[in-house]
Structure 1
Amino acid sequence: MKERHLGRSGLLVSRLGLGTMTWGQDTDPEEAAAQLAAFVDAGGTLVDTADVYNGGESERILGRLLRERVDRDALVVATKAAIRPNGRYDGSRRHLLRALDASLDRMDLDHVDLWQLHVYDPGTPLEETLSALDEAVASGRTRYVGVSNYAGWQVAKAAAWQRAWPGRAPVVSAQLEYSLLSRDIEREVVPAALDAGAGLLPWSPLGRGVLTGKYRTGIPAESRAAAAHYSDFVLPYLDEECARIVESVVTAAEGLGRSPLAVALAWVRDRPGVAAPVVGARTAAQLGAILESEDVTLPNEIRAALDDVSDTSTGSP
């Protein structure tokens, strides 16, 4: 698997990241182990988790695998904080640094490679939130810092604040939803990230699974849309507009002799500013299909056609 720099930092990451949101709920430890082994065998390095994923179980599973199955130094370990277990946003210095310590304890690590602010907390002054990033880097608990689910102006403000004084930790990444079914970040977030030198880490690059084409004729019994804890997440992308985009992806895939999954993933992977889409899979078999997309590069005419059919650039930001 090819590598890219994360934004304008010196950190190299595989151009596909492994998401672990399902670990500890839909994905048991042995299946997680199989996923990580397949990912590493394919040359993947970036593994992304968060302190709130399944009550911290995702981090615990990852920690055990780093101790027992995989060389920790071979991976770029990323986690996130800023959401309390009750769902409340908390960007206070107190909460963030305690959350980072708890993440390190769960993974049995002395540091992570990338620590990200999971959400923007409007109840805490941004300069206080960002001071926690500086402390985390200065203390050696993380090597790099980034943001997640920030609006364009929030990315720009955070990055500018960090650049304003020598010694502050620069924002090197921005993780947001981005796919052919979700292109709104191109209006403000992408330009802000490019200007700030923050590499984009798209989550749900397969349109919450819809771009695989699995929902073209209904909702499969084993799919996320059929699961009570995921149905509300998937259903917004099962409308007529999204169906039209999916059919275009399927047509392109048939012409290339590849899967719709590979076409959709290659499209977002090679968008301006993208360092690595973060993909999550329930099973190792599903991840295997995702990894097969590594050698797919879309011809310019197909990329242009997909750009046109999914364009959301009209209207106000």
Structure 2
Amino acid sequence: MQYRRLGRSGLKVSALSFGSWVTYSNQLDTKLARECMAAARDAGVNFFDNAEVYANGESERIMGQALRELGWSREQYIVSSKFFWGIHEGPNLKNTLNRKYLLAAVDGSLKRFGLEYLDLIFCHRPDPETPIEETVWAMHDLINRGKALYWGTSEWSAEEIRAAWQIAERHHLHKPVMEQPQYNLFARKRVEQEYRRLYEDLGLGLTTWSPLASGMLTGKYLDGIPAGTRGTLPGYEWLQERLNDEAKKRAVKKLLPIAQELEVTLAQLSLAWCLRNPHVSTVITGASRSAQVLENMKALEVLPRLTDEIAARMNEACSEIAG
């Protein structure tokens, strides 16, 4: 396993990490979650990603129970959660980053996890109705109170991230350290263009999600949506249109010969492509069984074989739909 600094912070995260979106509660119970997390840890993974809204809080409960059963010392692993959407009804309980919500939401998350603190907390989306200064102060206070160690954002614009950082700088507050954007062969503009200045100017680190474009880059959806995959899960009907996108299917078919040439899977090839970006601190992977975790980890073996020429061929294969 490689370990990379989280932006300009001193925290080191495994280049490949393990996340719970979609799978926990929907596809994994505590036993399967524990098995997948154990396989990831055995491979060197030290970062486990979660969010308050995943499975309406159940994802945090499952991960917390799995951590207790695994019995790892708290210093050995990094856990995150994200806040914005909320899991309760009410004017200050959903779709907000105001101070009242954030302080209560983090306490609720800690209770579900059964942890004393979270390593990373993210503002899951920007909130146009709450002043950024209020959110920055709330995140600073959460760190000062020992509820979290670092804070960051997810899917914020470069302008919003810079504004938050400058407020923190001006008032000598804890600054946002990381951003969690989508990043894969189909979704690249934000990471490669919009954030370009932030890496050097602010020392921004990235914990990227959906490296396989919801499974599209595995090739398993080329002939339709197989039973038992995330495309058939209740509540994820919105994915079906994306998974049936003909332009993306054409791109995946162009990637197949490259994977075959290297004798690797499409998933491993696509993960290695994400890892190749030096600004990516960690690539969040997902799995519904331990064997899949181990297959994903082999992307690290592909990385040194991903030459400029091969990467250029991959970029060209996806040029029709890369955004």
Tell me, yes or no, whether TM beats 0.5: yes
Aligned partner of 1:226 in structure 2 is: 232
Q: Does residue 33 in structure 1 map to residue 39 in structure 2?
A: no
Who is 1:81 aligned against?
83
Tell me if the contact between 1:160 and 1:196 (Cα under 8 Å) persists in the aligned partners.
no
| Cross-structure match for 1:169 | 174
> Does the residue aligned with 1:114 lie in a helix, a strand or coil?
strand
Is 1:78–1:112's contact at 8 Å kept on the other side of the alignment? yes
Alignment CA distance shift 1:307-1:70 (3 Å): farther
**Maintained 8 Å contact 1:137/1:143:** yes
Superposed CA RMSD in Å reads: 2.0
* Alpha-carbon shift at residue 288 of structure 1 (Å): 2.3
Alignment of 1:196-207 (within 5 A): 196-207=202-213
Q: What are the ranges of 5 or more consecutive residues in structure 2 without an aligned counterpart?
A: none
Farther-moved stretch of structure 1 (219-228 vs 107-116): 219-228
Amino acid at match of 1:307: N
Moved more, 116-125 or 220-229: 220-229
CA distance 1:3–1:234, change in 2 (3 Å): farther
The 3-state SS of whatever aligns with 2:178 is strand
Please point out which of 95, 99, 107 is paired with 2:105: 99
Give me the whole-angstrom Cα distance separating, in 2, the residues matched to 1:144 and 1:304: 35
* Alignment correspondent of 1:180: 185
Q: Deviations over 1:28-82 (max 9, x none)?
A: 1110000000000000001010111112111111212222214132101111112
Structure 1: gaps (5+ residues): none
Pair 89,207 (structure 1): closer, same or farther in 2 beyond 3 Å: same
Alpha-carbon separation, structure 2, partners of 1:244 and 1:271: 24
Q: Kindly indicate whether residue 313 of structure 2 is the aligned counterpart of residue 305 of structure 1.
A: yes
Q: Secondary structure at the match of 2:119?
A: strand
| TM-score between the two structures when normalised by the length of structure 1 | 0.93
Contact 1:38 1:288 in 2 (8 A): yes
Aligned-partner residue type, residue 230 of structure 1: Y
The verdict on how the C-alpha distance between 1:56 and 1:64 changes in structure 2, with shifts beyond 3 A counting, is: same
Report how many residues are paired. Answer: 314
Q: Structure 1 CA distance, aligned partners of 2:217 and 2:200?
A: 26
Question: Structure 2 counterpart of 1:184, which letter?
Answer: K
User: Using the alignment, how far apart are the partners of 1:278 and 1:160 within structure 2?
Assistant: 28
In 2, distance between residues paired with 1:111 and 1:285?
30
Answer yes or no: is the 8 Å Cα contact 1:181–1:237 preserved in 2.
Answer: no
- Residue equivalent to 1:258: 264
